[in-house]
C-alpha cells in the first residue's frame, strides 16, 4: 500500500452508486439539501469535492476528486435544485471521516502508482484496439487523429465502462496493469460488435464496455 505523505487534507464527500475516474466527465443533478450546501461551499471557496462509491464493500475506500466545470442555474427548478458538470482529477484513499457538518467530510491522502515505468508498446497496442472499436462503431471522431491518448485514464474516459471495471482501474497502482485491463475490455468489445454486426450498432447505442 502506498501513500503520498505530502497530501493529507479534508474534503467534502459525495457518496454515489458509481465510480468516477480521473479525466472522466460526469453530469450531476443536485437535489438533496445537504449536497446543495456542499456544492455552495465548494463554489464559494473555490474547492473541489470527492466522489466515492456508496456501494463500496472493500476494506480500502478509494475515490476521485471532482472539479466543478460548469454550473447550471438553480432558477431552472422551483426548489432551487441545479445541475453541475464535473471532471475527475486525482485519486485518493479515505483515512477517516468528519461528520460535524450536514454533509460528510473525509480526511484523505493521494493514491498513486507504485511503478514509474510505462510499457510504451502496451500503450500503443491498447490505442490500436481503441481506434478499431471506435471505427467499428462509427465514432472515429471520438479519438484525436494526431494526439493519441497518453495513458490508461485518457483511454477509459472515452469509453462507457461498467462499474466493476472502473473499480479495478481506480484501485490499480500500476499503469501497465490498467492498460492490460483496458486492452482486454476492448478486445472483448470488438468480438461482441462483430458478433452483433457493427453496421447495425452506433456508438451512442452501444452498451457498457465490460471487463
The CATH number of residue 58's host domain is: 2.30.130.40
Confidence of residue 3 (pLDDT cuts 50, 70, 90): very low
pLDDT digits (tens, 9 = 90+) for 13-37: 999 999 999 999 999 999 999 999 9
Residue 135 confidence (pLDDT): 85
The answer on 163 and 94 residing in a single domain is: no
As given in the structure block, the three cell numbers for residue 157 are: 474516459
In-domain check, residue 1: no
In whole angstroms, what separates CA 182 from the centre of its chain?
A: 14
- By residue range, what is the domain housing residue 93? 9-110
Task: Calculate the dihedral angle through the C-alpha atoms of 19, 24, 30, 34, rounding to the nearest 10 degrees.
Answer: 60
d(Cα 18, Cα 142) in Å, to the nearest integer?
23
195 plus 164 within the same structural domain: yes
Instruction: Name 124's Cβ contacts closer than 8 Å, sequence gap at least 6.
Output: none
The conformation of residue 161, written as its DSSP 8-state character, comes to B
> Would 210 be classed as within a structural domain?
no
Grid coordinates of 193: 460488435
Q: Tell me: the pLDDT tens digits for 39-88?
A: 999 999 999 999 999 988 887 899 999 999 998 765 555 677 889 999 99
Q: Out of 79, 110, 141, pick the residue that ends a domain.
A: 110
The rounded distance, in Å, linking the Cα atoms of 64 and 102 is 21
Say yes or no: 103 and 125 in one domain: no
In the prediction, which pLDDT does 136 show?
A: 83
pLDDT digits (tens, 9 = 90+) for 143-169: 665 567 899 999 999 888 999 999 999
Clarify whether residues 27 and 99 are in a common domain.
yes
Same structural domain, 96 and 164: no
- Indicate the residue among 110, 130, 162 that finishes a domain: 110
pTM of the model: 0.85
pLDDT, tens digit, for every residue of 98-128? 999 999 999 999 999 998 899 999 999 999 9
Q: What is the pLDDT of residue 211?
A: 60
Q: Do 97 and 21 have their domain in common?
A: yes
202 band by pLDDT with thresholds 50, 70 and 90: low
Q: Which H or E run contains 39? A: helix 33-45
Q: Which of 81, 110, 139 lies at the terminal end of a domain, its last residue?
A: 110
Amino acid at each position: 500500500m502506498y501513500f503520498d505523505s505530502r497530501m493529507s487534507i479534508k474534503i467534502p464527500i459525495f457518496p454515489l452508486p458509481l465510480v468516477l475516474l480521473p479525466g472522466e466527465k460526469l453530469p450531476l443533478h443536485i437535489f438533496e439539501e445537504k449536497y446543495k450546501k456542499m456544492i455552495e461551499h465548494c463554489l464559494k471557496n473555490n474547492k473541489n469535492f470527492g466522489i466515492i462509491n456508496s456501494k463500496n464493500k472493500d476494506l480500502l475506500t478509494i475515490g476521485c476528486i471532482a472539479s466543478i466545470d460548469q454550473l447550471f442555474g438553480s432558477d431552472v427548478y422551483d426548489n432551487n435544485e441545479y445541475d453541475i458538470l464535473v471532471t475527475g482529477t486525482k485519486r485518493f484513499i479515505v483515512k477517516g471521516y468528519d461528520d460535524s457538518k450536514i454533509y460528510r467530510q473525509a480526511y484523505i491522502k493521494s493514491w498513486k502508482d507504485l511503478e514509474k515505468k510505462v510499457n510504451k508498446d502496451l500503450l500503443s497496442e491498447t490505442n490500436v484496439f481503441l481506434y478499431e472499436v471506435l471505427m467499428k462503431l462509427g465514432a472515429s471522431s471520438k479519438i484525436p487523429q494526431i494526439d493519441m491518448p497518453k495513458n490508461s485514464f485518457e483511454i477509459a474516459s472515452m469509453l462507457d465502462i461498467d462499474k466493476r471495471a472502473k473499480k479495478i482501474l481506480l484501485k490499480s497502482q500500476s499503469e501497465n496493469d490498467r492498460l492490460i485491463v483496458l486492452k482486454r475490455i476492448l478486445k472483448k468489445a470488438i468480438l461482441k460488435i462483430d458478433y452483433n454486426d457493427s453496421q447495425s450498432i452506433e456508438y451512442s447505442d452501444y452498451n457498457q464496455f465490460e471487463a
